Amino acid sequence: MVTNGGDPLRFSTGDGIDILASKEKFINYRFKAVRSPSVPNFHEGNYKNLNSSEPILASPIAAQPNYESDRDTENLVLNSEHDGTNSLIDLYRDEIVHENKDSNDSEEGEIFTRKEEEIENSSEVEQAFSGSPSKLVSVMDNAEHFDRYGFRKQNNFITEGVYNKWWEGYSQYCIRRKHKWVMLLEKSGLSVDNDMPTRFPPRSEKLKRYVRKGIPAEWRGNAWWYFVRGQEKLNKNKDVYEKLLVKMGDLNDEQQRKKLIDLDVIERDLNRTFPDNIHFQKEQFQNKEPPMIQSLRRVLVAFSLYNPKIGYCQSMNFLAGLLLLFMDEERAFWMLVIITSRYLPGVHNVNLEGVNIDQGVLMLCIKEYLPEIWEYIYPKQKLENQHKHDSLNISTEVLKNEFLFKLPPLTLCTASWFMSCFIGIIPIETTLRIWDCLFYEESHFLFKASLAIFKLCEQDIIKDKPLHKTLGQYTLPNSNRTSRYSRLSQDDYDMEIFQIIQSFPKRIIDPNDIFEKIIFKKRIALNRLDQQEIDRCRKYVSNQRLKYKNYKDLIGDQESLKKTTNRMNNNINIINNNNITRESNNNNNSNNNNNNTSSAAESLMKEINMTNDLMNDTLSSEVYGFKKGLSSVHWNNSIKERVKQMRRKREKDYQT
């Protein structure tokens, strides 16, 4: 549920001057205190000053040769002869050299023992880049193995050769897009000073298209910050981050730290965040803790102090880590606050209910927009469950939506897509393109991107169907066996889907596989998905899950009620039996007992039937509302409340 007030369509704050003023203050502040020590900065001003060559990304001239051919942006012409590729890789290598030029050997204080004065220390920035000659050598040797963000190009799914081949074309694309952005900003009267624009044009279809085609990498930090209205948030919370850091510094006491179990988990995760990115690798920093890891610790601990309801949840290390590659600590912190509340509500909470809700929503989306795939994801169980429940008097509505409660096995794979916003799920450049859209278009884009991935591997998912059939066939002679085999084959089939769903995304190295092939194709149904639908679906799924849970609790109650009733009936029988042999003077008494007990049992049975009826009513009266179902949306109170009320009324009736 997107809760931050304010019209999502109006993000242009209208008080740009304010933002500029506070931005200046912010820059001062960050150099004094908590500036992220190691924003790697393919975009940092001082990088440019110290470098003899202008970064190619910032130079419109460099992009000129391709500009004309790119007029029609729907029709990309990738010119591989241009040497921008190498320049971009060089750019990265230069940056490393720069970092080392700045190196000095001063010690970094540990965060927990750090005093205010040390934070004030103005050599923070230089310390941040404390490298060493040995680092210089090692990175110089290896630079071509890493991408412009510092990630190793090669992984289990993509070879360096494949990466370089792709990058040759994609870097051209980036240059062309950058040029377009520069023109757009200039036309809107916004400055691109120092290649670090801080304001962007007002929302429009055109801007949305530009964002979807990718924000220039070196502008990303600023653009994300602008689109999520980060400065507004920061202005409302001045000094909060600094105070959290002070509070964190006060956590010296072992005793105190023990109490915060999150600290342990955070510590364990620091070195397990982007181990294949040079900014996070000890070896690159003389085996001292990389500044980036120190920043990461501060952001995560500060967050766990700031929001105890979430504390620390594994996956936030990746979110914060990626943010830190693009912006300083304080902004990364607020972005994390915004992501976990506005875009992924409840997902990182202690009970992870948000994860389940979003998985339910994703299933609804697949059912709605990719029905061909849905059939493969959710076929058998439905029937099986129907059988199981036949004996119980359960509403068809519960059955119809059972996949919202008992999530299909596929969600075992897709849950992490949302928790980390695709970090580690798909290659980094594609992830970043999705993040661009997430911050401009809000959370529905995560669902849209997920659907696009499913759409891309639709053929892989569907092609296994024949196997499915043959397995069922050769077991036909014995009906007993059939169910067994078809269950087995469904299991096998699930495994197939897991394999596909887990490995396919890892190969989407080219973001335009998702964007050009799916997102930009208007006729593909899933592109109709919008934020309102997601908001409604989230509400719907969360309500349904709650009711189902209450319902389960009630069923549990009823089971025990039934048992009690049975026991009472038994008692009655025993009493009756006894009565036969009893003396007549006891007879009156036990008959009284008998009457009381049987009417209690009766009322319990009535209540059970009542609950069932009520449940049927309530669950079927809700609609989740993709656009077509919109008219009849209406919500009911929690069923548990209503049952309680009725129970109370009944008790009263019974007493009188």
* Region from 32-40, 72-80, 88-96, 468-476 binding other proteins, contact rule CB under 8 A: 468-476
Report the Cα 261 to chain-centroid distance in Å.
23
Contacts of 181 (CB under 8 A, 6+ apart): 210, 215, 216, 219
Neighbours of 616 (CB within 10 A): 16
Cα–Cα distance measured from residue 525 to residue 479, given in angstroms and rounded to the nearest whole number = 40
When the beta carbons of 355 and 446 are compared against other proteins, the nearer one is 355
Figure out which of the listed residues 103, 171, 340, 416 binds other proteins, where binding follows CB under 8 A: 416
Q: Which residue among 1, 352, 604, 605 contacts other proteins (CB under 8 A)? A: 352
**Cβ-proximal residues to 244 (8 Å cutoff; 6+ apart), any chain:** 302, 305, 306, 333
Q: From the list 59, 304, 401, 420, which residue makes contact with other proteins (rule: CB under 8 A)?
A: 420
Q: How near is the Cβ of 460 to other proteins at its closest, in Å?
A: 11
Tokens of 17: 């001057």
Of 43, 73, 37, 65, which Cα lies nearest the Cα of 55?
43
Query: Of 308-337, which residues contact other proteins (CB under 8 A)?
Result: 313-315, 317-318
The nearer residue to other proteins, 217 or 293, going by C-beta atoms, is 293
Measured from the CB atom, is 212 or 348 closer to other proteins? 348
* Contact residue for other proteins among 350, 383, 476, 630 (CB under 8 A): 350
CB 47 within 8 A of CB 128: no
Element (H, E) at 20: helix 16-32
* Smaller CB separation from other proteins, 106 or 503: 503
Interface residue with other proteins, options 251, 265, 456, 600 (CB under 8 A):
265
The Cα–Cα gap between 116 and 176 comes to 46
Task: Give the CB-side neighbour count of residue 532, counting CA atoms within 13 A.
Answer: 10
Q: Does 260 bind other proteins (CB under 8 A)?
A: no
Nearer to other proteins, 460 or 516 (CB): 460
Token pair listed for 426? 């798909």
Matching residue, tokens 């709605």: 368
Under rule CB under 8 A, how many of the chain's residues touch other proteins?
A: 43
Quote the tokens at residue 142: 């290896």
Residue with tokens 């119980």: 392
Report the residue number, 118 or 491, with the smaller CB distance to other proteins. 491
Which C-beta is closer to other proteins: that of 6 or that of 308?
308
Residue pair 626/368 in contact (Cβ under 8 Å)? The answer is yes
Q: Which range binds other proteins by CB under 8 A, 194-202, 405-413, 504-512, 524-532? A: 405-413
> Is 18 in a helix, a strand, or coil?
helix
DSSP for 220-247 reads HHHHHHHHTTHHHHHHHTTTHHHHHHHH
Inter-axis angle of helices 160-187 and 60-67, to 10 degrees?
Answer: 100
Smallest CA-to-CA distance from 286 within 431, 130, 127, 169 is with 130
Give min distance, CB of 258 to other proteins, in A. Answer: 12
Whose Cβ is closer to other proteins: residue 233's or residue 348's?
348
Q: How far apart are CA 617 and CA 634, in angstroms?
A: 13
Smallest distance from the beta carbon of 557 to other proteins, in angstroms? 21
Site residues for other proteins, window 481-510 (CB under 8 A)? Answer: 481, 491-492, 495-496, 498-499, 502
CB of 272 to other proteins, least distance (A): 4
CA distance 626 to 619: 17
Q: Residue 102 or residue 458: which is nearer to other proteins going by CB?
A: 458
In the bound complex, what is the minimum distance in angstroms from residue 295's beta carbon to other proteins? Answer: 17
Contact 149, 40 (CB under 8 A): yes
Decide if residue 609 touches other proteins (CB under 8 A). no
Among 415, 509, 514, 561, binds other proteins (CB under 8 A): 415
Output 131 or 408, the one with its CB closest to other proteins. 408
Question: How many angstroms separate the CA atoms of 247 and 245, rounded?
Answer: 5
Which three-class secondary structure state does DSSP give residue 146? strand
Which residue lies nearer to other proteins by CB, 132 or 314? 314
Taking residues 421 to 440 in sequence order and writing x for each that binds other proteins by CB under 8 A, - otherwise, the string is ---x----------------
Minimal distance, residue 274 CB to other proteins, in Å: 8
Cβ distance 359 to 543 under 8 Å?
no
Site pattern 132..171 for other proteins (x: CB under 8 A): ----------------------------------------
Residue from 54, 144, 464, 617 in contact with other proteins (CB under 8 A): 464
Which of residues 211 and 266 has its CB atom nearest to other proteins in the complex? 266
The rounded distance, in Å, linking the Cα atoms of 551 and 619 is 10
Q: Rule CB under 8 A: say whether 271 interacts with other proteins.
A: yes
Q: Considering only the stretches 14-22, 384-392, 415-423, 608-616, report the one whose residues sit in contact with other proteins under the rule CB under 8 A.
A: 415-423
Alpha-carbon distance 14 to 399, whole Å?
Answer: 50
Point out which residues bind other proteins (CB under 8 A).
Answer: 261, 265, 268-269, 271-275, 313-315, 317-318, 350-352, 355, 407, 409, 411-413, 415-416, 419-420, 424, 464, 467, 470-471, 474-475, 478, 481, 491-492, 495-496, 498-499, 502
